[in-house]
Structure 1
Amino acid sequence: MNTESSLSVVLAGGGTAGHISPLLAIANALREARPGVRLLAVGTPAGMEARLVPAAGVDLATISRVPFPRRPSMDLLRLPGRLAGAVKQAGVILDDAHADVLVGVGGYVCTPMYLAARCRRIPIVIHEANTRPGLANRVGALLGGRVAVAFAATRLGGSRHVGMPMRKEISGLDRAAARSAAREALGLDPDRPALIVTGGSSGAQSINRTIAASVGLLAEAGIQTLHITGRGKAVHDADGKPLTAPGYQQREYVDGMETVYAAADLLLARSGAATVCEVAAVGLPAVFVPLPIGNGEQALNAAGLVDAGAALLVEDRLFSPDWVRANIIPLLQDPGRLARMADAAEHLGIRDADRRMADLVLGAAASDGARPAPAGTPDKHGRKR
């Protein structure tokens, strides 16, 4: 292993903010725990990481994107060659970085990185963000990686529950102390119940439609609504003009979800892994409308908070103005129930997942070479066993 001052950690993952955000949180925690650590992130040229990772001050290397076809096709026949090429690229990156440990958070880039690291006997540490593990991280677990998960219900290769690494601005948020300034920053009344709606940076059209049809109901109930529609997804009235109602405002995007979390009495959102873990960490009541496509992982992500009474869940097809009238309005008019939900959420939240992951990574680096590799495979320095 390298000396302490020159410890080299390669972090792989990307494609979505759900992979990139925990990767960057782990990187920052490693810098705090081990000043002088050398960090390199690995992604694909077309992923969001190409913009977000360098902007966060972490060097980025890229390899070819190798998606795994879901059904028989010509792409399936090309897969072995494409994967072999990506593994070769991954190996060059690991060798050039003199990597002591590889951290993977999921996404297309991780499978070739895991395979290349295994061939070099470089310890692998995995963080799985979703309740239902992705293919790449299942491969990494089979290759002997040390596995950490965001949700206790996740079943993956002897995993330990560490929570979701997140930005310090969120993990360190005191909602009560930040509430007044957050409401002022967002243009919200300091005294009226506040519903904040978000479908993420890309928006959620079905949620937007229902909220647009419910603004009158919410206003009549004395509830103010901040509707974050997503970029390019502003909602309009029948005349094509921006939608207006007493106490209603819409924005396409808000920079800094910690401000949203501090200002809201109730958050309405999809149940992506990061959102679920963040509202638990800060103790914010929520209504989740899981994405209706995919493998059902969003409903599974929300299940722990729903079962604990910290959140409500409604299927996308059932989310309607009638549901808003019957469920959201009475909830926002019941401060006692909101307080109980907030307390239940906070009891499930984990605020130090980034530090837990840093400890796991440093422990893996310290035990470099402890895991056996097949006879004849080289170690990370190219020596045959």
Structure 2
Amino acid sequence: MPDQDPSRTAGQPAASGPSVVLAGGGTAGHISPLLAIARAVERRDPSARILAVGTASGMETRLVPEAGFDLATIDRVPLPRKPSLDLVRLPRRLAGAVRQAERILVDAEADVLVGVGGYVCTPLYLAARRRGTPIVIHEANTRAGLANRVGALFTQRVGKAFGETRLKHARLVGMPMRREVSGLDRDAARDAARRSLGLAVDRPTLVVTGGSSGALSINRTIAGSLAALASAGVQTLHITGRGKAVAADDGAPLAAEGYRQVEYVDGMETAYAAADLLVCRSGAGTVCEVAAAGVPAVFVPLPIGNGEQALNARGLVEAGAAKLVRDADFTPRWLEREIIPLLADPAALARMSQRARALGIRDADEAMATMVMEAASS
């Protein structure tokens, strides 16, 4: 379960604390930093009144209440990418969402609005601007989203996760993340982590994950590499993604010596501690967590979108802390040529870990909480 103050009861705000409204959602990439900022604010002032705002269709409807925070929702207003009827309807729909956002800010008596990006943020930024509510922004990606580019016009309190991100007024703070990850001691936690995941303590360990949505192409390559991995003495923990279990030709769950398949792990810090090497996508949150925890990684960026995932990984790759391979090139042959020799070289893995940790930023949640509290008292 996510960490939270046991003395806090959702729905019972303390009148003495600042009222902090946090906007963002849709994906874990937005929700995770939002929750990390919320927890850091609560540590600063346990009487703070915290409300998250998202849409009714995003992952926030599950993740925010699970974390112990209240959630309000407004209509989802995506920006059409090409001329269409939706573009004609955009001004009316946006105006309606701004009215909803303003009512939420008024009812919450908001002292500050914190935005982390996503569809929900633009109406909240516009409503906060109209109402005179101070705005604080965190941008998680190397390429800033439209909502945060709009919001950054209204505030000078802007944090970013990557130094190369171009966004007005932004300063580098890193990625807010759970303290279980930012404070992870992999060496101390390794044996217990492997035991808890059903792995042998003393074997080279490859952990593979495609993120919350899974990764079919990665799963196929791992399925085709099990014999080579087993022959090399490598044990593999394969986190396939919910509902994306990998099956053998006969339809039964894929099984092999030294191979364990699970759909998800509750708390990725356990997987990070267990891994000698991690194969994963390179979403912004994953890249920043890998750096903070010092996990040697092979990044396989999503082959869709604007190339952002490859940009996210660039700093670690250039520093020798990680490897990067195109999705189309991540084949069993590539794995046998590149990954198996690396797992047999503890010194190389140790160098990668040290270089990753040197680039990791582990106090972004506190840096953002400082901005929030300053804005709330301004």
Q: Same fold (TM over 0.5)?
A: yes
Give the gaps of 5 or more residues in structure 1: 368-385
The corresponding residue for 2:76 is: 65
Asked if residue 152 in structure 1 is aligned to residue 149 in structure 2, the reply is no
Query: C-alpha offsets along residues 58-83 of structure 1, whole Å, 9 cap, x if unaligned?
Result: 11111000000000000000000000
Asked if residue 230 in structure 1 is aligned to residue 241 in structure 2, the reply is yes
> Whole-Å Cα distance in 2 between the matches of residues 127 and 6 of structure 1?
22
The corresponding residue for 1:11 is: 22
Residue from 131, 134, 145 that aligns with 2:142: 131
CA contact 2:303–2:326 (8 Å) conserved in 1: yes
Query: How many Å apart are 1:145 and its aligned residue?
Result: 4.8
Give the gaps of 5 or more residues in structure 2: 1-13
Equivalent residue letter for 1:77? V
Taking structure 1 as the reference length, the TM-score comes to 0.93
The corresponding residue for 1:321 is: 332
Residue from 340, 347, 350 that aligns with 1:336: 347
Query: C-alpha offsets along residues 237-275 of structure 1, whole Å, 9 cap, x if unaligned?
Result: 222222222211111111110110010000000001111
CA contact 2:21–2:50 (8 Å) conserved in 1: yes
Identity of paired residues, percent?
A: 72
Q: How does 1:166-177 map to 2 (within 5 A)?
A: 166-177=177-188
Assess, with a 3 A threshold, how the Cα gap between structure 1 residues 305 and 4 changes in structure 2: closer, same or farther: farther
Query: How many Å apart are 1:39 and its aligned residue?
Result: 0.6
Query: How many Å apart are 1:7 and its aligned residue?
Result: 0.9
Residue from 153, 178, 197 that aligns with 1:142: 153
Residue from 61, 67, 89 that aligns with 1:56: 67
Asked if residue 359 in structure 1 is aligned to residue 350 in structure 2, the reply is no
CA contact 2:15–2:49 (8 Å) conserved in 1: no
Asked if residue 221 in structure 1 is aligned to residue 232 in structure 2, the reply is yes
> Whole-Å Cα distance in 1 between the matches of residues 134 and 264 of structure 2?
39
> Whole-Å Cα distance in 1 between the matches of residues 335 and 191 of structure 2?
26
The corresponding residue for 1:33 is: 44
Equivalent residue letter for 2:141? N
> Whole-Å Cα distance in 1 between the matches of residues 156 and 127 of structure 2?
13
248-257 or 204-213, larger mean C-alpha shift: 248-257
Asked if residue 202 in structure 1 is aligned to residue 220 in structure 2, the reply is no
> Whole-Å Cα distance in 1 between the matches of residues 161 and 239 of structure 2?
26
Aligned CA RMSD, in angstroms, stands at 1.2
CA contact 1:123–1:145 (8 Å) conserved in 2: no
CA contact 2:156–2:169 (8 Å) conserved in 1: no
Query: How many Å apart are 1:100 and its aligned residue?
Result: 0.9
The corresponding residue for 1:105 is: 116
Equivalent residue letter for 2:343? L
Moved over 3 A (4+): none
The corresponding residue for 2:317 is: 306
> Whole-Å Cα distance in 2 between the matches of residues 261 and 305 of structure 1?
16
Asked if residue 350 in structure 1 is aligned to residue 361 in structure 2, the reply is yes
Residue from 171, 178, 186 that aligns with 2:189: 178
Assess, with a 3 A threshold, how the Cα gap between structure 1 residues 147 and 73 changes in structure 2: closer, same or farther: same
The corresponding residue for 1:76 is: 87
The corresponding residue for 1:45 is: 56
Query: C-alpha offsets along residues 281-334 of structure 1, whole Å, 9 cap, x if unaligned?
Result: 011100000001111111111111101110000000111011101110111010
> Whole-Å Cα distance in 1 between the matches of residues 294 and 97 of structure 2?
42
CA contact 1:203–1:231 (8 Å) conserved in 2: yes
Asked if residue 278 in structure 1 is aligned to residue 292 in structure 2, the reply is no
CA contact 1:271–1:288 (8 Å) conserved in 2: yes
Query: C-alpha offsets along residues 161-217 of structure 1, whole Å, 9 cap, x if unaligned?
Result: 111111111111111111110010011111111000001122100000011001111
The corresponding residue for 1:287 is: 298
Query: How many Å apart are 1:4 and its aligned residue?
Result: 9.5
